[in-house]
Amino acid sequence: MLKSTRDVAWLLVAAIGIGFLMSRFVPARFGPASTPTPIAASPTPFASPTPPSDDPRVWAQPIVAGCAGDAADAYLVSFGGGIARFDGQFWYLVDDTLRTLRTVTCVPGLAIAAGDGSRLVRIDPSALTVSPELPLGAEDVYAIEALNAGSIVMAGSALTIRLFVNGHWEQIGGGGADVQAWRAILMRSAKEIWFAGDDGSLVLFDGKQFVDRSITKGPRFTALSPLGSDVLVGAEDGSLYTVSAAAAPHVVGHAKGAVKALAPDGTGAYVLADDLTRFGTATPAPRDADLAANGLSCTVINMFTNVRGELWLIARDGGRAGVARYDGVWTKWGHC
């Protein structure tokens, strides 16, 4: 019982003090502390590696010719562009230097290309090197053939012929007018090299001298291919001839349009003109219908075969280019 005003005052002070202490040391809420919800850590995804694919620049090149090696590789050269290689899986530019090349040939372990100003380029796939040589003259080269890296022949404008043998180049033909040119070569051996060109020009070099098989006032010859022991000759007017060391040329057929290219097909030959056909072979396949089903949407401008008998077509329209290979079925690359 409170006896005085002083007792009331002391009681009030004590109550205030206890309240202050409770506010400092006793939590406002009582009960167990809440447990935080665990968050599962998710791994940061890594970008998937980009699968290898063709270099798209290949199909923007002004491709004019190609050749295939003894393996799965193939090469394309361009007139004013780079050099492309197929390694058996993908196409890529082995050299993006802008060159005016017109022709290329493949021998085991080497591709050799040539073009304007007698410029020559050697492509070694094993060393991944491109070795340009100094121009051999002012003439433009339209055709090149080789037996191996040490036996090469090329020919072109002004009826110029140069032969690489014993480690050096020598000129064995020429003197024609600037408007005359050799357009095709067939090198069967060092003692049988055929040259075909403008105005019915057709000669055989036997290793020592030339044997003339020309046709007076004849057509422009554009392509050559072996045909058994003979040679098949294609012309700009669509004519097909056979010729040999022992016999003069004679007409054996006509293609639909100018003959753009010839390529070996067993004992016969493929003939590329406005369409693609076969000549001089009894082998039933491929049929002309199979050849037409190549899937290319651009104009086929050239072709070549390899030692395995595969047929390669080159197609181009404007800035688009593409390639198709026939080995029993067609496989297509590029923008055509």
Q: List pLDDT tens digits, range 47-60.
A: 445 556 789 999 99
**Residue type at 277 in one-letter notation:** T
41 domain-assigned: no
Strands 74-86 and 63-68: antiparallel
Residues 6 or more apart whose Cβ sits within 8 Å of residue 249: 202, 213, 215, 233, 241, 242, 243
107 domain-assigned: yes
243 domain-assigned: yes
The DSSP annotation for 54-79 comes to: --GGGGGS-EEEEEE-SSS-EEEEEE
Q: List pLDDT tens digits, range 202-217.
A: 999 999 999 999 999 9
Q: Which domain holds residue 102?
A: 56-331
How many domains, in total, are found in the chain? 1
| Distance spanning both ends of the chain, measured CA to CA | 112
324 domain-assigned: yes
2 domain-assigned: no
Q: How many Å apart are CA 278 and CA 264, to the nearest integer?
A: 10
224 domain-assigned: yes
45 domain-assigned: no
Q: List pLDDT tens digits, range 270-287.
A: 999 999 999 997 777 677
pLDDT at residue 129 tops 90: no
76 domain-assigned: yes
Tell whether pTM > 0.85.
Answer: no
CATH code at position 82: 2.130.10.10
Q: How many Å apart are CA 16 and CA 282, to the nearest integer?
A: 120
Q: How many Å apart are CA 270 and CA 273, to the nearest integer?
A: 10
